[in-house]
Amino acid sequence: TITQFTSPKLIREILAQRNFAPRKSLGQNFLVDGNILDKIANAAELDPSDRVLEIGPGLGALTAKLLERAGLVVAVEYDRGLYSILQEQFGEAANLRLNHQDFMEFDLGRLSGAATASGTGRWKVVANLPYYITTPAIFKLVESEIAWAAMVFLVQKEVALRMTAEPGGKDYGALTVMLNYYGRVERVAPVPKTVFYPAPQVDSAIVRIRPVADPEHRRLYPYLHRVVQAAFGQRRKTVLNALQSVAGDKEAGGAILESLGIDPGRRGETLDGEEFAALARALRERDS
């Protein structure tokens, strides 16, 4: 039977038995609230044909909820101590594949062979992300070859605000533009710091990303990435200056802006998603 570590007391006990202290450097804040765990799992709208990738299962509280709902869960945990606790806890679960690895090193190509009992269903990602790899982990997923059906993350509140920010504001940045090009981003629910053990410094939020199928996605993405990096690499830079490095020189950059009717004196961080995509398209066309 699987012990559900849904109280701080139980977690303290199991950790003390093993001389294990939560590591701040690995973002180890464990969820101890069954309602929040249900909210995360529900937001993924799972059914038995779904396959789930979980990043950082920790003590397995969320993993247990995912196993109840999905056909298969592939979980990647970096911490050796937690990995062995997970193995003991879930050793018998037929629809779980545990991996002891740094997610940033994990080869997503390995997922293609994993099937549920009913075959190969949609892939979803569900994770209470370790905060220090939030942005690179999301970029890794978005840039992968896998057609994710949905991603549900628990992230720091300020990251959730960045993901859903409007152009021009302080939260608007590369993460905002790239994610909103990739799909629709929603803030599902706020999560207070009191539902974790140990409690983190800041509040969190559940976010859901539903990818939008776009046939030009693969080809446009690298161009968008370059324009966005240039625009946000140095705030307060004009869009003309930002584009100069990507387009080759100022003249080429200016011509592209003129053809799109974008004022070259605007600051990069005021461009909306459509304008960034238009710039990426113009650069791609020039190359082809």
Q: At what angle do helices 239-247 and 217-233 cross, to 10 degrees?
A: 130
| Residues 30-49 contacting ligand SAM, CB under 6 A | 30-31
Residue 53 interacts with ligand SAM (CB under 6 A): yes or no: no
Q: Of the candidates 127, 119, 130, which has an alpha carbon nearest to the alpha carbon of residue 72?
A: 119
C-alpha pair distances (Å), 179 with each of 148, 213, 236, 274:
13, 13, 22, 13
CA dist., res. 51 & res. 69, Å (int)? 10
In angstroms, what is the C-alpha Rg of the chain? 21
Q: How many other CB atoms are there within 10 angstroms of residue 199's CB atom?
A: 13
Check: CB of residue 5 under 8 Å from CB of residue 14: yes
Q: Which of 51, 57, 271, 276 touches ligand SAM by CB under 6 A?
A: 57
Q: In the complex with ligand SAM, which residue's Cβ is closer, 26 or 98?
A: 26
Residue 130 interacts with ligand SAM (CB under 6 A): yes or no: yes
79 marked among binding-site residues = no
Residue 235's DSSP bridge partners are none
Residue 207 interacts with ligand SAM (CB under 6 A): yes or no: no
128 marked among binding-site residues = yes
Place of tokens 């779904």: 50
Q: In the complex with ligand SAM, which residue's Cβ is closer, 129 or 279?
A: 129
Q: In the complex with ligand SAM, which residue's Cβ is closer, 30 or 276?
A: 30
Single-letter code of the amino acid located at 116: T
Residue 103 interacts with ligand SAM (CB under 6 A): yes or no: yes
Q: Of the candidates 100, 145, 148, 97, which has an alpha carbon nearest to the alpha carbon of residue 123?
A: 148
What is the nearest approach in angstroms of ligand SAM to the Cβ of residue 20?
A: 11
Residue 82 interacts with ligand SAM (CB under 6 A): yes or no: yes
Q: In the complex with ligand SAM, which residue's Cβ is closer, 202 or 212?
A: 202
77 marked among binding-site residues = yes
54 marked among binding-site residues = no
Q: Please state whether beta strands 30-31 and 196-197 pair in parallel, antiparallel, or not at all (unpaired).
A: antiparallel
Residue 72 interacts with ligand SAM (CB under 6 A): yes or no: no
Binding residues for S-adenosyl-L-methionine: 29, 31, 56, 77, 102, 128
Which residues contact ligand SAM (rule: CB under 6 A)?
Answer: 26-31, 55-58, 61-62, 76-79, 82, 102-104, 128, 130, 133
